[in-house]
Each structure stands twice: as structure tokens, then as C-alpha cells.
Amino acid sequence: MKKYLVLHITGTSELHLSKIRVFLQEQTYIEINNVFYISSSKRFKNSFKNDLFDNEINFILTFVNIKTGGDFEAFGIDEDKKSKLEKIILSN
């Protein structure tokens, strides 16, 4: 797998989790304790991120591309924690 997403859902309901599963029905993924590991393209990541924002789902989303590097998005977490996570994930 050369491109994938790691999506961690924070402080959410079963309704939000079911919406995410619907968004992912066409994707290859595995879910473990509100964390989704998704085989993905950057195009899917961008549209999926918008779906998460539109549904006000609290999340931490990391996109990994073995060739070009990664990307990071978060919603509904403390700005200080978001900044620290971004530094960890994107520091290379």
C-alpha cells in the first residue's frame, strides 16, 4: 500500500461512526477502536475530509503517500494539541 489514510474519531456518537462507514463502503479499510485504516488516493482524502467537516465529526486524519509525503487535518481538538500533532506527523 503506497497511499493510505489513518482516521481517528474523537468524542463521537454511533451515528457519526455509521456515517463514516457509509462514506467508506467503496473503500478498502479496517476499523479498530474508532480508528480507520483506509487504502486511499489523495482525491478521495480531499472529498472525505469535506464530508467529515460537513457532518461536524471530530477527527484526526493523516494521509500517507510513500512517494510524496503526507498530509494532516484535524477538527474538534485543542489547537495546541493539533499543532503538536502536526509537527510530529509532518516533521521530515
The answer to the question of residue 52 being in a domain is yes
Q: What pLDDT shows up at residue 1?
A: 59
Q: What pLDDT shows up at residue 43?
A: 87
Kindly report the backbone phi and psi dihedral angles of residue 37, in degrees, each rounded to the nearest multiple of 5, phi listed first.
-110, 115
Question: 53-68: string of b/e by CB count within 10 Å (b at 16+)?
Answer: eeeebebbbbbbeeee
The answer to the question of residue 87 being in a domain is no
The answer to the question of residue 91 being in a domain is no
The answer to the question of residue 46 being in a domain is yes
Model pTM score: 0.85
The answer to the question of residue 1 being in a domain is yes
The answer to the question of residue 81 being in a domain is no
Q: What pLDDT shows up at residue 69?
A: 77
The answer to the question of residue 18 being in a domain is yes
pLDDT per residue as tens, the chain (92 positions): 588 999 999 987 899 899 999 999 999 999 999 899 999 888 898 899 999 999 999 999 999 888 877 888 999 999 999 999 888 888 75
Its domain, for residue 13, covers: 1-32+40-69
Number of structural domains the chain divides into: 1
The answer to the question of residue 75 being in a domain is no
